[in-house]
């Protein structure tokens, strides 16, 4: 026999499995959508298990609570996200519930090396990322980096959209660069494309995944960028990532390519611009390495320039495009939706700090929209980027 809750993914969004006791087989499972809570209605159960309760919508909470019979048991598991105006946060302070906290260092495999790695990754023990993901504390108040309603409107059917997954094991049998090139070309299965394209890449280092996105601008009065291809790579060496981006350039001839300079990014940018094998593609002027911790200069109407923190600027560009309905994602890409939905930010010392570790697709999108915006500004188009950080669901004390 087994009892518990299973979280699965489908085109309808994240779902929760409800286990129902039966005489013959012990338990039967039924899966119900949790986004709006409608599928919870008319259910009456004795036990409810909620996974990742901090991210459950308020509409779903209201419907889910009425499913529990009198005297039933409700168990909620989640990593805190810092949001104060949620049912999850309120329940952690309720006397009706017993709260257990399991910080990561209770794990038998915890070590000083693991601690140093996570401190470096999250930027210190006083950061929201460490407090939420490692300490299991509510920590500093957080804000959603993107508005859920705008994201939902941007997720549409894109017929030509594809995702490709490439791992180091897939390429391990290649003996030389020629074999690797042929295998990558076969896995991508592309044909030459006509149109205006923009590429963004967050190239993973060691155990981090790599995400590469390709956007296509739609023709017409209102320029709308549609995500048509996403490539997910794991344990792929940076020389092969250089070859992969070179392949994409051959097929799409993008107007701009943005690559995160962190991790392997700087080495890949240098290879694409300096190695003799890539020089005929003439990517100089179109390829841009992006320093997320740096500053980007924008041209102002009076001929001067406005200097903004790069990561805040890129995030503001995405939010502006979402609000103006100028960006489209595929509704079938649940990994992308999951990252955008759970991405948060905190305010510290007049700066915006974004959550880390579950944002590789977002960072690739950031690079793509930045080179797109800068490319449009260089062509003399109207500046439309909003340089103010977005604060969603403000928290008052």
CATH number of the domain that 310 lies in? 3.30.420.240
What's the pLDDT at 320?
Answer: 94
Domain assignment of residue 127, yes or no: no
Domain assignment of residue 28, yes or no: yes
Domain ends where: 59, 78, 97? 78
Residues 270 and 358 in one domain: yes
- Higher local confidence (pLDDT), 187 or 300: 187
**β-bridge partners, 213:** 200, 230
Q: Which of 13-27, 70-84, 290-304, 338-352 has the lowest mean pLDDT?
A: 13-27
Q: Residue 126 CB: number of other CB atoms within 10 A?
A: 11
Domain assignment of residue 12, yes or no: yes
Q: Which of 86-90, 224-228, 244-248 has the lowest mean pLDDT?
A: 86-90
Residues 181 and 327 in one domain: yes
Q: Torsions phi, psi of 115, nearest 5?
A: -60, -45
What string of DSSP letters covers 239-283?
A: HHHHHHHHHHHHHH--SEEEEE-TTTHHHHHHHHHHSTTTGGG--
Percent helix, strand, coil in the chain (nearest 5)? 35, 25, 40
Q: The tokens 């977005």 sit on which residue?
A: 390
Residue of 335, 97, 123, 311 lying closest to 213 (CA atoms): 335
What's the pLDDT at 16?
Answer: 42
Domain assignment of residue 111, yes or no: no
Residues 171 and 58 in one domain: no
Residues 50 and 160 in one domain: no
Q: Which of 82-91, 145-154, 280-289 has the lowest mean pLDDT?
A: 82-91
DSSP state of 382: P
What's the pLDDT at 282?
Answer: 93
Residues 66 and 160 in one domain: no
Distances 149 to 15, 208, 340 between C-alpha atoms, Å: 19, 29, 12
- Secondary structure class of 171 (helix, strand, coil): helix
Residues 53 and 152 in one domain: no
Residues 74 and 153 in one domain: no
DSSP state of 153: H
Residues 364 and 253 in one domain: yes
pLDDT tops 50 at residue 215: yes
- Higher local confidence (pLDDT), 341 or 164: 164
Q: The tokens 């180091």 sit on which residue?
A: 168
Residue of 324, 326, 176, 173 lying closest to 243 (CA atoms): 176
Domain assignment of residue 141, yes or no: no
Q: 4 lies in which domain range?
A: 1-78
**Taking the CA atoms of the chain, what radius of gyration do you get in angstroms?**
23
C-alpha torsion angle, residues 270, 275, 278, 282 (rounded to 10): 70
What's the pLDDT at 23?
Answer: 40
pLDDT tops 80 at residue 364: yes
Residues 340 and 218 in one domain: yes
Confidence of residue 155 (pLDDT cuts 50, 70, 90): very high
C-alpha torsion angle, residues 55, 59, 60, 63 (rounded to 10): 150
Long-range pairs, 356-361, Cβ under 8 A, ≥24 = 356/121, 356/122, 356/123, 356/129, 357/121, 357/122, 357/129, 357/133, 360/202, 360/204, 360/208, 360/209, 360/210, 360/211, 361/202, 361/211, 361/213, 361/230, 361/335, 361/336
The structural domain count of the chain equals: 2
Residues 181 and 307 in one domain: yes
What's the pLDDT at 29?
Answer: 40
Domain assignment of residue 323, yes or no: yes
Q: Residue 26 CB: number of other CB atoms within 10 A?
A: 11
Confidence of residue 3 (pLDDT cuts 50, 70, 90): very low
pLDDT tops 80 at residue 256: yes
Element of type H or E holding 178? helix 177-188
Q: The tokens 């298990």 sit on which residue?
A: 49
Q: The tokens 């911790």 sit on which residue?
A: 293
Distances 179 to 211, 244, 246, 279, 329 between C-alpha atoms, Å: 23, 13, 15, 21, 33
Distance CA 14, CA 12 (A): 7
Domain assignment of residue 124, yes or no: no
Q: List pLDDT tens digits, range 316-351.
A: 999 999 999 999 999 999 999 989 987 888 877 778
What's the pLDDT at 44?
Answer: 78
Q: List pLDDT tens digits, range 31-73.
A: 444 444 555 555 778 888 888 888 888 888 888 888 888 888 8
What's the pLDDT at 378?
Answer: 66
Distance CA 334, CA 9 (A): 7
Give the chain's mean pLDDT.
82
pLDDT tops 80 at residue 300: no
Q: Which of 28-37, 209-218, 278-287 has the lowest mean pLDDT?
A: 28-37
Residues 335 and 191 in one domain: yes
**Mean pLDDT on 201-226:** 88
Domain ends where: 78, 109, 127? 78
- C-beta of residue 363 within 8 angstroms of C-beta of residue 42: no
Distance CA 62, CA 84 (A): 17
What's the pLDDT at 42?
Answer: 59
pLDDT tops 80 at residue 75: yes
pLDDT tops 50 at residue 176: yes
Domain assignment of residue 135, yes or no: no
Domain ends where: 63, 78, 93? 78
Confidence of residue 392 (pLDDT cuts 50, 70, 90): low
**Mean pLDDT on 239-254:** 96
Rounded to a whole number, what is the largest CA-CA distance in the chain?
78
Residues 157 and 61 in one domain: no
């Amino acid at each position: 026999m087994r009892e518990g809750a299973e979280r699965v993914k489908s085109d309808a969004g994240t779902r929760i499995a409800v286990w129902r006791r039966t005489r013959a087989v012990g338990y039967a499972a039924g899966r119900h959508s949790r986004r709006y809570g409608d599928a919870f209605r008319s259910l009456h159960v004795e036990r409810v298990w909620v996974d990742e309760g901090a991210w459950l919508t308020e509409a779903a909470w209201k419907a889910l609570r009425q499913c529990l019979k009198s005297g039933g048991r409700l168990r909620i598991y989640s990593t805190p996200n810092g949001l104060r105006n949620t049912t999850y946060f309120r329940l952690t302070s309720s006397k009706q519930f017993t709260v257990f906290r399991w910080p990561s260092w209770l794990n038998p495999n915890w070590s000083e090396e693991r601690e140093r790695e996570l401190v470096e990754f999250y930027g210190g023990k006083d950061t929201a990322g460490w407090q939420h993901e490692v300490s299991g504390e509510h920590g500093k108040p957080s804000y959603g980096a993107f508005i859920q309603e705008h994201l939902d409107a941007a997720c549409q059917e894109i017929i030509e959209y594809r995702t490709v997954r490439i791992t180091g094991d897939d390429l391990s049998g290649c003996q030389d660069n020629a074999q690797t090139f042929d295998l990558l070309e076969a896995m991508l299965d592309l044909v030459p494309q006509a149109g205006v394209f923009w590429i963004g890449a967050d190239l993973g280092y060691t155990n981090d995944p790599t995400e590469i996105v390709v956007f296509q601008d739609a023709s017409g009065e209102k320029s709308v960028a549609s995500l048509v291809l996403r490539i997910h790579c794991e344990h792929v060496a940076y020389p092969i990532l250089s070859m992969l981006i070179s392949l994409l350039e051959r097929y799409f001839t993008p107007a701009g390519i943005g690559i995160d300079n962190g991790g392997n990014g700087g080495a890949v940018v240098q290879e694409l611009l300096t190695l003799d094998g890539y020089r005929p593609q003439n990517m100089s002027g179109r390829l841009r390495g992006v320093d997320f911790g740096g500053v980007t200069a924008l041209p102002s109407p009076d001929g001067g320039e406005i200097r903004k923190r790069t990561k805040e600027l890129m995030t503001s560009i995405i939010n502006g495009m979402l609000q103006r309905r100028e960006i489209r994602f595929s509704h079938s890409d649940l990994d992308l939706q999951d990252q955008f939905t759970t991405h948060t930010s905190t305010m510290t010392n007049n700066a915006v700090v974004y959550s880390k570790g579950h944002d590789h697709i977002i960072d690739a999108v950031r690079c793509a929209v930045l080179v797109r915006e800068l490319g449009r500004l260089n062509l003399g188009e109207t500046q439309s980027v909003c340089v103010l950080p977005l604060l969603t669901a403000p928290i008052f004390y």
